Amino acid sequence: MTTKTRLLLKLAGLTGALLLSLGVAAPQEARAELRIDITRGVVEPLPIAITSFAGAGGRDAQTGADIAKVISADLERSGLFRPLDPRGFLQTPEQLRAGDPRYQDWKALGAQALVAGNTTTGSDGRMKVDFRLWDIASSQYMHGLSYTAPVQEWRRIAHIVADAIYKRLTGEDGYFDTRIVYVAESGPANVRKKQLAIMDQDSENHQFLTDGQSLVLTPRFSPTTQEITYMSYFNKKPRVYLFNIDTGRQEVLGDFPGMTFAPRFSPDGNRVIMSMAQNGNTDIYTLDLRTRRQTQLTDSPGIDTAPSYSPDGQRIVFESDRGGSQQLYLMGADGSGVKRLSFGEGRYGTPVWSPRGDLIAFTRQRGSSFAVGVIRPDGSGERILSEGYHVEGPTWAPNGRVLMFFKDLPSGDGRGRNAKLYSIDITGANERRVSTPLDASDPAWSPLIP
C-alpha cells in the first residue's frame, strides 16, 4: 500500500469522538401523537419545516445554515419527509432560539413538524449543536438533544440530528450517519480500472482507497465495526484483505484461488463466511478471524456460493444450482437442514439478509432482464423492487428500511459499461440515483458510525 493511500485511509476515519448530552434546556418532552406510519406501501411525505440553526454570527451562522441544509437533504432523500421552502418562514432562527414557536404561523404554512437549533463554538475550537423538534399539529414540544464535537465534524453532527428526527417521527432507527464503500470503475471494458472508494451515504467526503493498480472486487462491511473485507488480485490470484477504515490497518486473510466473491462477516464480526472451489467443487466455508481455522459447511455436487448470515447468526442463506437451476437456499449455521427458498421463474442469486431479519434481498435474472427484490425467510412475500438491463449487488442500510444496488446500463459510447448506484425503499418506492464521480458497482453499506 502506498503512503498516499494509507493517508487517505486514515482520513476516512473520524477526527474526533462526538459527545452526547441529554441535558438540553427545553420544555419537558411531550408524548405527542405525530408519527409517520411507514408500514403502508405508499407514504405521503410529512411536511416539515427546518430552520437554519441560529449562531452568534460569522462562522457559527454559516455552519448553522449548512447543518440545516444537510438535515433537510437527508430527510427529503428518505422519501418520508417534505422539507418546506425556508423563504416562506414567518419566524427567524433567532426568534425560535429565544422561545417557543408561534404555532399558528407554522400551521398556516402547512408544516406538521418544526426543527430549530443553535450552534456555538467555544474557545477550544469545539462546537456545541442543540436542536429541538415540535409537533405543530398538536402545538407540542416533542424532542431535543445536544451534541459537542470538533468544528470540522459539523456534517456528521447534521447526519446524527437527522437520525434522531427520523427515529422520533417514524419509530425506527435512522441510517444517515453511515458510509458506503464501493468499486469505482473507469476505462474501456477490456482494460477496466477498478478502485475501492468510500463516501458518506449522501455522496459527500468521497475518497479513493486504492490506486487502481490491482483489480478489486466485492467489498463487504462488518456489521459491528468500521471494517471491510474485499478481494483483490495479487500475482493474478484472488487475495482477500481485511481492512479497518478508521485506523488504516490492513491484513491479508489469505489467497483463495477458487473464490469469486469476498467473504461476508458473521453478525458478531468474529468470523467470515465464503465459498471456495476445491477439487472441482464449490462449497461454503467459514473462517475464524482469531484462529484462522476453516470449517466446511456444505458438500454438494452443485455450486454453493454467496452465503449471508441471518442477524442472529442462526441461519445462512446462499445460492446454489444443486437443484438444476440457480436458486436460493437456507440452512442452519452449522450447515444442517438445507431447504430451498426461491421457486420463481429465472435464476436467483446474491442473497443478503436484512439487518432486521424480516427480509432477504436478492438478484433475479430472467432472460435478458435483471431485477432486485426481497423475499421473507419463509419463502412468502416475494416482491421485485427494481428491474433493468443489468441490476445487481443489493446491500442494506443498517435499519433494514432502504436498499442500495447498482444498475449497469448500455452506454452507447463504446465503453461497454455505464454502472451507477441507486437506492430504493423496501416498498419499491423512492428509487434514487446515488451520485459518484466515476462508474460504480458492488456497494456495501456500513453500520451506524460509533
Query: pLDDT digit string (tens) for 207-242?
Result: 999 888 888 989 999 998 889 999 988 777 888 999
Q: Are residues 136 and 193 in the same domain?
A: no
Q: Are residues 154 and 197 in the same domain?
A: no
The 10 Å Cβ neighbour count of residue 173 is: 17
Q: Are residues 165 and 50 in the same domain?
A: yes
pLDDT interval class at 168 (50, 70, 90)? very high
- Residue-range definition of the domain harbouring residue 140: 46-170
Instruction: Output DSSP code: residue 214.
Output: S
pLDDT of residue 212: 84
Q: Are residues 249 and 321 in the same domain?
A: yes
Boundary residue ending a domain (130, 153, 170): 170
Could you please report the per-residue DSSP string of 146-187? Answer: EEEEEGGGHHHHHHHHHHHHHHHHHSS----S-EEEEEEEES
Q: Are residues 268 and 148 in the same domain?
A: no
| pTM of the full structure | 0.90
Determine the Cα–Cα distance for residues 258 and 241; give it in Å rounded to an integer: 15
pLDDT interval class at 56 (50, 70, 90)? low
How large is the angle between the packed helices 154-170 and 59-77, nearest 10 degrees? Answer: 40
The CATH number of residue 133's host domain is 3.40.50.10070
pLDDT of residue 31: 55
Q: Which residue has the higher pLDDT, 91 or 11?
A: 91
Boundary residue ending a domain (170, 195, 220): 170
Whether residue 3 lies inside any domain: the answer is no
| 365-405 pLDDT, tens digit each | 998 899 999 999 999 999 999 999 889 999 999 999 999 99
Q: Which residues make beta-bridge pairs with 277? A: 282
Q: Are residues 208 and 229 in the same domain?
A: yes
Determine the Cα–Cα distance for residues 237 and 258; give it in Å rounded to an integer: 9
pLDDT at residue 247 above 90? no
Q: Are residues 271 and 236 in the same domain?
A: yes
Boundary residue ending a domain (140, 170, 200): 170
417 contacts 152 by C-beta, under 8 angstroms: no
The CATH number of residue 359's host domain is 2.120.10.30
Q: Are residues 54 and 93 in the same domain?
A: yes
Whether residue 5 lies inside any domain: the answer is no
Whether residue 277 lies inside any domain: the answer is yes
